[in-house]
Structure 1
Amino acid sequence: MKRQNRRWVRAGHVGAALILATATVVAGVATREAAAEPMSSFYTPPDRIPQEPGAIIKTAPMSLFVTPPTEQGWPGRAQHVMYTSRLQDGSAVAVSGTYLEPTGPWRGAGSRPTVVIGPGTSGQADRCAMSVAFSTGVSVSAEPLGLSANQELPSSTVWSGLGARVLVTDYVGLGIPGIHTYANRFESGHAILDGVRAANNLAGVGPETPVVLWGYSQGGGATAAAAEMQPTYAPELNLKGTWAGGPVADLAAILEKIDGALIGGAIGYAVNGMLARYPELQRAVDQVTSPAGRAMLETLSDSCIADVITHHPYLKTTSLTKDGRSLSAHLAELPEAAPVLEQLRIGNSTPATPVLITSGRNDDTVPYGQARRLAEDWCGKGATVTFRTNDLPPILPGTTIPNHFGPELIDGFGPDNAFTYLLDRLADKPVSGCSLD
């Protein structure tokens, strides 16, 4: 049975699950007012939280309206979860997310694994948290008018259908009060690894439980950060493998690449996150941004990525500065910025377990070069890395969807996909050294 199910993944039925999941959303699932839920008492942490990373603060049941059933019925029981993680300075913080406990048997090799998913870019407002849209697929807010979608419906559906326990983190500051520190490698990596601990605590299983990490774009950066900090931050976890697809690894390269692209406003998420953890940057950024630029950064801090696309598409940071030069050009020259950008770059430590990195050569949002550099940095440190280049030709450059999300669908759900790679790691199939395709 397990061998047949592995062929099911290899033969492309994962793609069929993706189509079914997407069709379920498009076919008219219920939407809800997002403003009521994230501001509800669930997303408000208690005055005191447990200090142990991965400790469960509270849970609440969640209905699943959009997950397609498997042969055994609905693939999992969902819960909102709030757990303890760590900020960059080591202090405890509450993080929310979604936990899916499978109802069917594990269809892969070995014992049932824990899978933690790092979502792609959803925004910086609390209403953008993935758990807000998880139940219905899409959430709509009235004030301010906005939209957020559960981008991780396909991946969580497939993993749940395979019988894995799944936790999808919201990251630090999404849903929970406080700024979302977008692409902060410390806090995103902590949220992923502490999400593993939280999922294992909810399931009542120990640290020997096999673990894999799944992420693309912002999520790819988060899982990459988690993979390289796991040996020191969470050495007890039995991490078997990681997919870091299209990883946000080097903010300096990414900010320059997406300036003026469809989701150029995401630059605001990165800048706002850096200012929250590196206050010494505030004065320098204030000196180069115009009043309109500072107002736009504030607006973006309360937006979702769909809002950026509909309200601020193709945003150029030349419109945010006093002299009309790009914000990335200024950051390259600001002495306060260089050490921050270097400290946040992923690749300074070494993963102890295998990692698959994929990147589109023509990705117009998360540049190929910085993803390949991550692979090369890790290879130089002796890590086990498989790097795969996606050669999808450029389609309407600057529009993000075909050139950034196209490789995600191919590498994540197409032939010889990330599921296959991680299932092989869970089966303890040997892999070693570096493969730079």
Structure 2
Amino acid sequence: MKFLQSRKFWVVATLTCVMGYLVSCTKKDQVIIPTSGASTTTLVSVKTSTAPNIDGSIESAWNSAPKLNFTPAVPYPGNGLFTGYNGQQYPATLRSMYDDKYVYFLAEWADADKSVFVATWYFDPATQLWAQEPTSKKFDSNGNVTRDGFGEDKFAMLWNIDNSTPLFLTQTCYASCHIFTPYTNYSVNPAVQVSNAGEGNHYTNGASEKIDMWWGHLSRDIVFKQIDDDYQDWAGGPGVTGLVGGSGNGRHVDGLVVTGTSANFPYAPTYTVAPAQGALNNKQTLKLDGTGSKVSVPMWILPNGDNYYYVLATDTLAGGKAVKITGVSSTGVLTYNGGSIDPNSGTDYQRTGDAVLGGDGPKCFPSYIASPLLGARADITGAAIYTGTGWIVEYKRLLKTSDGLKQDVDMSGLKDQQFGFAIWNKSNNQHGIQPNLTLTFKK
């Protein structure tokens, strides 16, 4: 959910490109695009006396829930960030039910590939080094794709907490997209105005404005039947974000609160520290042959593992299945307590197939260690099934959580809630967006 320097221009352009596309997923075992169907921006949640099992299968209870048909589209920010993805559309449907305790959602969208192998570790025989696949498409100087992305299939929903963010009413998720806004760089003397075509994050426009952010990572958190519950705030306001051009980070996991102000420029707010949880990087730095140059290698592996895309944190504990890499040679041989791995014989640990669209050998290593989400971050239960043609994702959350920090949207009053929906397809940053949606509860 990125921004141009002219937010108004991009919002209008994006709304134009996402209107008028229809989709409906009508089969339990297949995601397809229908030839007809009504499109709207309103998702009607119906009351149910039978709570669905959160397992990714479509039970008969869902038959009474009308479908919202929409098509998130990748916008054109105009700076090359979404190159290779601009204009892509991800037809989807969404259904909702509720009871006295929970609100339930069922999302479906077409996807030709199941993308759960994220930034896989592989061995490059040309350099004799271990490397990771890119999380989005890579290009040469002429704009030709040199390697397809190895990002994650995922989705997100954004909600306006207590209608605290006024711009959300007209811009939905764009209300917190401030990347690429110009700023004054005071780290140099004299200070200079910078157009900023670089990095940045979401943040709101006022100290009282907060947005509830649900992330459905279909490679990692879904392993534990969880959807990541986060929130967005104003990241210190213009006194900070106006100086760093949108790179002020207003995205935080639930449960974190401001503790003070950083002593370093630009004096952004500091937050409490979250315990280790969720996806952790499976990466470390070692010296070649113990004394040479420092290189990056995976930290934990399953010595006999095939086609696995994560290592469980519990398997890294004493007696677990995983072993820790303790050394790497100048020829790429990895050592661990009790054995070694030589990646030079065959392609088990190397890239395979086509140079651009090919994959990785069956014994290549995952990029992350999986552990459950904790506390307020674990408010949303979810399950996902890849059907061969697309995703079916089922999830639920309490209508009113135990949140006392204004980091969750409260649905217990059954009032209309505006939201935005985004879909990532095999990419880390580039994604399709559908703003200006409304959830309404049928009484």
TM range (shorter): under 0.3
Q: Which has the larger radius of gyration?
A: 2
TM-score with structure 1 setting the length? 0.28
TM-score if structure 2 supplies the norm length? 0.28
Larger strand proportion of the pair: 2
Task: Give the structure with the larger helix fraction.
Answer: 1
Identify which of structures 1 and 2 has the higher relative contact order when contacts are C-alpha pairs closer than 8 Å and 6+ apart: 2
